[in-house]
Structure formats: C-alpha cells, structure tokens
Structure 1
Amino acid sequence: MTTSVVSVTVDLVLLTIRQGALQALLIRRGIEPYLGKWALPGGFVLPDEDLDEAAARELREETGLDPRTGHFEQLATYGAPGRDPRGRVVTIAYLALLPDLPSPVAGSDAAGAAWRPVDDIEAGDLAFDHDRILADGIERARAKLEYTPLATAFCPPEFTVAELRQVYETVWRTRLDPRNFHRKVTGAEGFVEATGGTVIRERGRPAQLFRRGPAALLHPPLLRSGQV
C-alpha cells in the first residue's frame, strides 16, 4: 500500500470597503502554476508553524498588511483531489474584515497585489479553486453581519450610524430604511456605544459618533430577509 504526501497551505479572503464597494484583496501570481493569474493571497505552511502563524506571515509577505488590523478568523478547509496541479494540497482558508486601507504592496512570489470589487470578479477569474473560497468568504461575511457586530470591523474606531448603515448596504447589496436601522442598531444591547462626540459630514447636520460596544452577538439580529 502506497501513501501520498499531503501538503498544507493557507489562503486568505481579505475584504474591505473602498470607493463604496465591497472589495477583495487579490495577488497576481509570479510563479507557476497559474503564472500571471489572479489568486487569493496565501502559501504553504512551514514545518515549524501553526496555521494562524502561517496565515499571518503570508499576509505580511504578500501584501505588506498588518494581520492585527480588523477581524481575522478561520473560514473553512478545502481538500478536493486535483484542486492544485502540484499534487495533493489541502488549504485552510481565513477570512479578514478590514477597514479601508491603502493599496497593498506585493512581495514574496506575488507579481502584484490589488483590491478588486467582488462584483467584478467572475467565475474562472481566479487560480485554483479560489472562486469558490472567495464566494464562501463573502457569504460568511454577509451572514455574520446579521448576528454579530462585525460590521464595525469595516469602520474607523469612531463612526456614525449612517456610516455603519452604508457598510450593511454595501455588503448586503441592498437599501435599508435609515430610521428603522438607527432604531435597531441603537436598541441592540451592547452593539454600539455613544462616544459623546459629534461630526459634520459634508453638508449634513451634526451626527452622533459611536464606537463598537462589548456585545459578541446581536439581540435581536439584523436579518437580511426582512426590512431593517
């Protein structure tokens, strides 16, 4: 009986909101396989690393971004035979929700790195099975916005309710009633906390500033299926 060698990689689904759109960070591969094709950031796990360490290292090496910025969690494991032409490779995907960041700097084996609107990424655009991984990450983000306060991960430390609503509208691709949204957000225990400050955005009136509260789950949740 023969045994095959299994390699382990990490892949990163990094999402932010830029220019009014939900965008994902992609790298253009500088080596084979899929030379020149866009892909999710990632790479092989080194012998002395655990998975979280490998994901953090790949984030720094391929994009120049700090893994401590925003929300970072393990997404799923992908191990279909043939998903990588180099052999039997199992990958552990991570999901990060990040506030608006400057353009990334490519490094390591990446020929380039860029934020791209997720609505502009079509099936077959990405190397390996990264189309599926990206789609899973986007759906995880959309679902988590329903029952956790992670929408604030796309916001600066202090934000208005209108800015938070824009996050929901962008990620969910829908329009929400401003008054109902304000009522539900401020009525959800521990979701947001008033800072005591105000800000004027462009031609508007002074708006109250908030920060993320201590809640880990939203009660009640903000459901996509209903009108907030």
Structure 2
Amino acid sequence: MTTRTTSATLTTPSAGGEAIRVAVSTVIFSLQRRPGDERPAVVLPLVRRTRDPHDGQWALPGGWLRESENMDAAASRTLAETTGLAPSFLEQLYAFGAVDRSPSRVVSIVYWALVREDVEAAPAAENVAWFDATALPRLAFDHNDIVEYALWRLRNKVGYSRIAHGLLPELFTLADLREVYEAILGRRLDPANFRRQVDSSETLIPTDEFRTGSHRPARLYRYNHDVELAERGPLPH
C-alpha cells in the first residue's frame, strides 16, 4: 500500500474566486528506544511525497477532507492508513492557512495523536518512515513549523494533565513514567522529586503486581481513569 498526502473533495470559493481547499493532517507521536540511547525518543511517522509540489520530500500524513466525513474521522483515517495503529489520544491542534504555504490556497486542519504500540512492529505503508521528532529533515510545505508547534503543545500539556499515559501501557512502573516525561521534556528528572510530585497528584493507583528482573521488584501502577488524559473543554469529544 502506498500512503499519499493528497485526495479529497471539499472546496470553498474565496472572495477572489479562487477555491480554498481544506486538508486534514495528523502529527502522530510515539516513543522508540534505540540501541545505546539512555532514554526513549519521541518519534513520528512521515510520508515521502510522490508528486509535485515537493516531490520526494517527507511530509506529515494527511489528505483532503471528504464531504461525507467529519474532521475527527478524517484524522483517525489518516493515522490508520499510515501506521495501522489506533490512537490512545487524538485532539485538534490548530488550523494552518497562510496564503503562501502551498502553490494553491490550502487550509490544513491539523490534529495531533499519541500511540502506545511498539512502532518497530507497527505495519506501515511503503513510503512511510519514523523519525526523531527533534531531528527532522527539511519537510514539505510548513510541516517543520507544525511539528515544532505540536511538540510545544505536548511539552506544555504534560505539565498539567496525565497526557503521558497516552504513551504508556495499562500497567507501568514509576521509572517507566519518568522516562516518558524525560523523553517529552528532553531532560533528566530527579527520581525522588518526581516520585513526590506523582504521589501528590493522586492520578496513579498502585496495584499488587510487581515487575521482576535483574533489579529489585518494582511496583506496577495504573492511571486513575476517572481523570481525563487532558482537559478538552466543554465541547463534545
């Protein structure tokens, strides 16, 4: 299967008579641990374009908004077509519509998503590859700016919500959770201070299960599901 960043049908006439096209793109974040790395890296999938403009460059996965689907459905479809994965978190990020962002006037409604699955084992289209989110090549259109904004949103949200759970399995240790925070923030955290902050948040529930291995057994935790991953306001989800 070849994943494209184009397809679609919805157009809107502008004041000057030019059609404004609406696209939906998704910034899909996951974690990947590479040999020799101290902590996992935040990664995202990109699609290599197979036509002009920007033929051969990498771009965010996306497509035109179909007349028969809402934007949330279009974002979920994009994610599934690109990675074969279902998101643990999906939220609208921003609308990007600068006049000069593409040869024809295109407004992109951008979503950002988190996936928990092992990205190494995830099925992917033939023109899709995973990249370190902080070390990207020059992308098509304004997609470098979009990823930078999505990373900024992720780093801010991890400070006041349990959004990190979107990158964790159902059961995890405090060390697992700290690694996710460190990967998102790009810096080391003091284990003792981190434990105190987590304990005071009342978002984790300790279980009676432990992870055993070469070190002493580590208690497994789960999130309190009565607390939302992130506050999304009064609009319907």
- Structures share a fold, TM > 0.5? yes
| 1:141 alignment partner, one of 149, 154, 158 | 154
Alignment partner of 1:128 is 2:141: yes
Q: Read off the aligned partner of 1:3 and give its amino acid letter.
A: G
> Partners in 2 of 1:141 and 1:80 — Cα distance?
23
Structure 2 partner of 1:45 = 65
> Partners in 2 of 1:217 and 1:199 — Cα distance?
24
- Deviations 1:98-125 (Å, cap 9, x if unpaired)? 2142345444xxx511111122214xx1
Alignment partner of 1:197 is 2:215: no
> Partners in 2 of 1:99 and 1:82 — Cα distance?
36
- Deviations 1:27-52 (Å, cap 9, x if unpaired)? 11122221111111101001111111
- Counterpart contact for 2:30–2:119, Cα < 8 Å: no
Alignment partner of 1:171 is 2:184: yes
> Partners in 2 of 1:29 and 1:48 — Cα distance?
25
> Partners in 2 of 1:155 and 1:99 — Cα distance?
6
| 1:150 alignment partner, one of 153, 156, 163 | 163
Structure 2 partner of 1:114 = 129
Structure 1 partner of 2:55 = 35
- Deviations 1:192-224 (Å, cap 9, x if unpaired)? 111221112x42111111111122389xxxxxx
- Where 2:166 maps in the other structure, the secondary structure is helix
- Counterpart contact for 1:27–1:106, Cα < 8 Å: no
- Where 2:205 maps in the other structure, the secondary structure is strand
Shift of 1:133: 0.5
Structure 1 partner of 2:98 = 80
> Partners in 1 of 2:163 and 2:124 — Cα distance?
27
TM-score (norm 2): 0.82
Show structure 1 runs of 5+ residues with no match.
219-228
Q: CA-atom RMSD, angstroms?
A: 1.8
State the identity %.
Answer: 38
| 1:8 alignment partner, one of 11, 22, 28 | 22
Alignment partner of 1:216 is 2:228: yes
> Partners in 1 of 2:82 and 2:30 — Cα distance?
17
Shift of 1:24: 1.4
Shift of 1:150: 0.8
- Counterpart contact for 2:28–2:79, Cα < 8 Å: no
| 1:160 alignment partner, one of 161, 168, 173 | 173
State the number of aligned residues. Answer: 208
TM-score (norm 1): 0.85
- Counterpart contact for 1:105–1:112, Cα < 8 Å: no
